[in-house]
Amino acid sequence: MQKFIHPLTSEWEALIERPTASFDDLKDLVLEVFKQVQNRGDEAVLEYTKEFDKIQLQTLQVSPEEILNGVNAVPKELKKAIQIAKSNIEAFHKAQKTKTVKVEIQSGVNCWQEKHPIEKVGLYIPGGSAPLFSTILMLAIPAQIAGCEEIVLCSPPNIQGKLPNEVLYAAHLCGLNKIFKVGGIQAVAGMTFGTESIPSVYKIFGPGNQFVNVAKQLATRYNVAIDLPAGPSELLVVADETADADFVASDLLSQAEHGPDSQVILVTTKESFLEKVIKAINQQLQNLPRKKIAQKALENSKMIVLENDEIAVTFINSYGPEHYIICVENEKYYVDKVRNAGSVFIGNYTPESAGDYASGTNHTLPTNGYSKQYSGVNLDSFTKAITFQKISKKGIQDLGESIELMAAAEGLQGHKNAISIRLKKINNEA
């Protein structure tokens, strides 16, 4: 990890850059894949799966038999762990339900808002070297709580041309049956346009690599919504001498092992603390099965010493981390000053891994600084708010003149007439 001691504010822009390709660097490839999938459907998806994933598939959809075999192959202990996680995630997301908001604005003017589920949603589940079956829980559970009618799941096949047993079990546990062995750009394109096998959806959810992130953003050009821009994983830890260096090192490595384009950041006001963390990282790294991946990610990562808490907080909010761990003596100050973060983890005994799996919060979060504009996935992500209003005869009489004056001022006579005609008829009835 690179070390920066008291960097100038003018240097911050470079410090908060992520090690990812730009949208413009990838869009041409993504657009070409989209074009082919739109025009040729399954045929194009199968071709790209062979080209990108080196897998020759005959069919895209996972059969009921494959699901059953996968479910049966998962060890009982892991099934129990997944069930506990499912229960906690359900509890937290059920608590996010809101009541219908009803207001009598003035006499005879009633307005209300209702939440309705998005009917058709697509879930993208990353695969590759680390199939993230936990993401199924994070997306399928709130989708079901919200009441989405059709839930489509896409995930890249492994080298055997199958989905991992754990993925199939988690999908089965969540009641999903439209499961497809397809990943990357072609999966997003398939859910955008629909193919002979893959249904089109109204909104696509789920994290992915740089290509998936760009594909999701391009999907919005074709009237498909997305949850948020969610690319390579990232973590920022703020810590001082009261933190446990071993804990901090383990948290940094937990995210570094996601992929070579992941980024982890350590922020501290105590330079002496850095050496303790560096020593702990070097020790723990030796026993990490994904050592090479983590090492590559660490090359893109930084340790930053800042002068005081105020400057540290300002820098952290400028960075806008996906995951943010606070392990400092002045905990309340940092918590109260959070402005931009996907999810926050407080204290020495709250590792980011807890949120990734089983504490109940959602781990599908904005990356690359998008926490400044986006929330992480939550129950509302799977719904849309519809407003209603009903105005009585007395209500339109009392409100009508204000509407007429405003419509006339905007030069919209038709709008004014819609009020005037009603008021005239009411007056004639009197």
Give the catalytic positions in this structure: 322-323
**Residue for token pair 């506990």:** 84
For residues 148 and 121, the answer to whether their CB atoms sit within 8 Å is yes
Bridge partners of 343, per DSSP, are 323
**How many Å separate Cα 32 from the centre of its chain?**
25
Closest C-alpha among 389, 421, 416 to residue 402:
416
Q: What 3-state DSSP class applies to 383? A: strand
**Residue for token pair 């960075």:** 319
CA angle (52 as vertex; 300, 23 as ends), nearest 5: 50
Sign of CA dihedral 167, 168, 171, 173: negative
For residues 212 and 124, the answer to whether their CB atoms sit within 8 Å is yes
77-89 exposure pattern, b = at least 16 Cβ within 10 A, e = fewer: eeeeebeebbebb
Phi, psi of 268 (to 5 degrees): -150, 160
Q: What count of other Cβ atoms lies within 10 Å of the Cβ of residue 358? A: 18
* Strand pairing class (101-106; 109-117): antiparallel
Q: What 3-state DSSP class applies to 123? A: strand
Token representation of residue 377: 């996935």
For residues 122 and 26, the answer to whether their CB atoms sit within 8 Å is no
